[in-house]
Chain A
Amino acid sequence: SQQGEEDPQALSIQEGENATMNCSYKTSINNLQWYRQNSGRGLVHLILIRSNEREKHSGRLRVTLDTSKKSSSLLITASRAADTASYFCATVDRGNTPLVFGKGTRLSVIA
Chain B
Amino acid sequence: DARVTQTPRDKVTEMGQEVTMRCQPILGHNTVFWYRQTMMQGLELLAYFRNRAPLDDSGMPKDRFSAEMPDATLATLKIQPSEPRDSAVYFCASALLGFTSSYNEQFFGPGTRLTVL
Bound-state CA distance A44–B3 (Å) is 11
Q: CB < 8 Å: which of A33, A42, A98 contacts B45?
A: A98
User: Is B43 an interface residue when CB atoms closer than 8 A count as contact?
Assistant: yes
B43:A88 contact, CB within 8 angstroms = yes
User: Is B54 an interface residue when CB atoms closer than 8 A count as contact?
Assistant: no
| Chain A interfacial residues counted at CB < 8 A | 19
User: Is B107 an interface residue when CB atoms closer than 8 A count as contact?
Assistant: yes
A41:B110 contact, CB within 8 angstroms = yes
A31:B102 contact, CB within 8 angstroms = yes
User: What is the count of residue pairs linking A and B with beta-carbon distances less than 8 angstroms?
Assistant: 50
A43:B108 contact, CB within 8 angstroms = yes
Chain B residues touching A, majority SS:
strand
Sample 10 A-B pairs with CB under 8 A, ordered by A number.
Answer: A30-B102, A31-B102, A31-B103, A33-B104, A42-B110, A45-B106, A100-B45, A101-B35, A101-B43, A104-B42
User: Is A63 an interface residue when CB atoms closer than 8 A count as contact?
Assistant: no
Interface residues of A in 22-47 (CB under 8 A from B): 30-31, 33, 41-45
Interface size class of B (residues with CB under 8 A): 20 to 34
A42:B108 contact, CB within 8 angstroms = yes
Q: Find the A residue at minimum CB distance from B39.
A: A103
Q: Find the B residue at minimum CB distance from A51.
A: B102
- One digit per residue, 1 when the CB lies within 8 angstroms of any chain A CB and 0 when it does not, for chain B 75-94 equals 00000000000000001010
Q: Find the A residue at minimum CB distance from B58.
A: A1
A99:B45 contact, CB within 8 angstroms = yes
- One digit per residue, 1 when the CB lies within 8 angstroms of any chain A CB and 0 when it does not, for chain B 23-49 equals 000000000010100000011010010
B104: chain A residues within 8 A (beta carbon): 31, 33, 48
